[in-house]
Amino acid sequence: MSPTPFDHLPVPDPGQPDMRTVPKFLWWIGKKQKKIVLTGTFFGIVNLLCVALMPGVLGRGIQAIADEANDQLRIAVISALALGSLQAAAGILRHRRAVGSWISAATRLQQLVARKAVDLGADLPRLVSTGEVSAINSNDVERVARVYDLIPRLSGAIVSFFVVSVLLINSSPTLGLMVIIGVPLLGLAIGPIIKPLQNRESAQREKLSESSALAADTVAGLRILRGIGGEETFLNRFRIASQNVRAAAVRTAKMRALLDGLQVILPGSLVVGVIYVGGNLVSRGELKVGELLAFYGYSAFLMIPLQILTESAQRLTSGTVAARRVMKLLSVERVQSYGALEFPQNFKVIKDLKSGLEIRSNTFLGVVCDNSLIADELVDRLGGYLDADQVVVDDRSFETISRDDLRRNIYAQEKEPAILSGTVESLFQVSNSGRVHMSDAIESASAIDILDSLEGDGYSAEVVERGRTLSGGQRQRLALARTLFVDAPILILDDPTSAVDAHTEARIAQRLKNTRVGKTTVVFTNSPLLLDHTDQVALVVDGKVITVGNHFDLLKQNDDYRRLVVRGE
């Protein structure tokens, strides 16, 4: 099988883009695929040159018929066949290269976006909304890549325009100058529309991004919205956002419709003018019929470069707007910087300076907070995602430790961990210690029944996107099983059983402690069933640790603790 222009994709390393300006960014992408762009440009030039030369050949053939010159007619026919064959071959090869340029650019950009997402990790949703990332990775990447799809035709249009201009002037200076001057004037007439179109396109893209982000957030929180009766409020917000998108799209479409109309009216006016002047020249005997037909063909052909130039302006406008959005995403930096030191092995204590929370090595610590937002902040800090200078391990600040080393030693599971689509087995294809087997992790999370509820056989059962066919409790247990399988030295769980029934939660609590023997585990929860199995519990009120002790002792001695854990019962 012959190789395609994109057999090399994806590339091993997408490289480091030049993001100083949009033109330099686009130039960098082009340089990275210069071979396919240059070959596509060559075939694009050959293809349009064949189209450009065809009117002259046909004109000579018609003149040969009028003059009854059979030899010249035969030469014209053979030339037309040769040009047509070359045009077809060059067109096919140009199209293959153009598609290859588009796919190569899109793939490279998607790799850059994916690499940035991996680099940011858990910081990504804190910096960029999910909807915006999705819109950039699909729509904006596509628009930028389409710029390179047009390069072969644009190059052919420019070269063929100058070739035809020379032929026209040599044949008839009057008509030649009329066409050569007329076509650029048409371009200048269309030019003032490009900038407003770019502005409207940019506004539309921003409105679409806002709408996508709102839709993603609404869908993600639909269950909560139903619980608090806020569906109608968010529906109205989305309705307003979608109407803003519609209005922006209509404004853009109006400008684009004006541009499309001018592309028909202005070239048509030039062709009518050429035919009128040419007809007068024929009637005076200054121009032959065959030459007039050739001129008509040349004039009609020059509309092709003009249309390509206009399309290029539109596509470059759209690509420029999209490139800015891609560059904005690629320029996002992590919330904080990290050092290069290693995480201390056999540490003694991790301390959060802001709250005073201390985590001893190889203990099972429960943390009860009076405010869930403060609990989330604590999880982020202890996980090394936020305010790393506020957390120390054996007097070594987190900000001095390398990010990779923090991730290897600390695993922080958020309240609603992501469940990706694929088989159950694929969810467990993550780095792990090798101490806990997948079956043991699933049993510890009391998630065996989930396998029976999915379509498939055992671990090959399919989990759909975001686990949307699973209940909240099932998603929690499956995510917990994956977390236990990783078996990180330090595990931080943020309310891991909030959607689980009491009987299942009791089983998980006992199994969780047994699975994590010899490891450090911190559970942020107000559930007495989990707290009952902890070694110690820290009570955090107003962001500060006010007491630490045994679960049952705190129930007897501390009113705040009892109020939060048993809710007065």
Hey, which of 17-26, 208-217, 413-422, 447-456 has the most confident mean pLDDT? 17-26
- Distance between CA atoms of residues 494 and 197, nearest Å: 48
In the chain, DSSP finds a helix count (H) and a strand count (E) of: 20, 12
- In the chain, residues under CATH classification 1.20.1560.10 are 22-330
Q: What is the pLDDT of residues 246-259, one digit of tens each?
A: 888 888 888 778 77
- Distance between CA atoms of residues 106 and 26, nearest Å: 12
Give helix 289-330 / helix 173-220 axis angle, nearest 10°: 30
Pick the CATH number of 22-330 from 1.20.1560.10, 3.40.50.10070, 1.20.1260.10, 2.60.40.1190: 1.20.1560.10
User: Mean pLDDT score of the chain, rounded to an integer?
Assistant: 83
Q: What is the pLDDT of residues 295-321, one digit of tens each?
A: 677 767 777 777 787 778 778 888 888
Per CATH, the homologous superfamily of domain 349-566 is P-loop containing nucleotide triphosphate hydrolases (3.40.50.300)
Beta-strand relationship, 490-494 and 520-524: parallel
Tokens of 104: 């190569």
The pLDDT assigned to 211 comes to 74
Q: What is the pLDDT of residues 42-88, one digit of tens each?
A: 999 998 888 888 877 777 777 777 777 778 888 888 888 998 899 89
For residue 509, name the pLDDT band (cuts at 50, 70, 90). very high
**pLDDT mean over 472-495:** 92
Tokens of 324: 């800015």
**pLDDT mean over 99-118:** 90
- Distance between CA atoms of residues 478 and 2, nearest Å: 45
The pLDDT assigned to 52 comes to 82
**pTM confidence score:** 0.65
The pLDDT assigned to 536 comes to 95
The pLDDT assigned to 567 comes to 62
Which long-range CB contacts under 8 A does 505-508 form with residues at least 24 apart? Answer: 505/529, 505/530, 507/446, 508/444, 508/445, 508/446, 508/477, 508/480
Tokens of 378: 């604590």
CA quadruple 441, 445, 448, 452: dihedral sign: negative
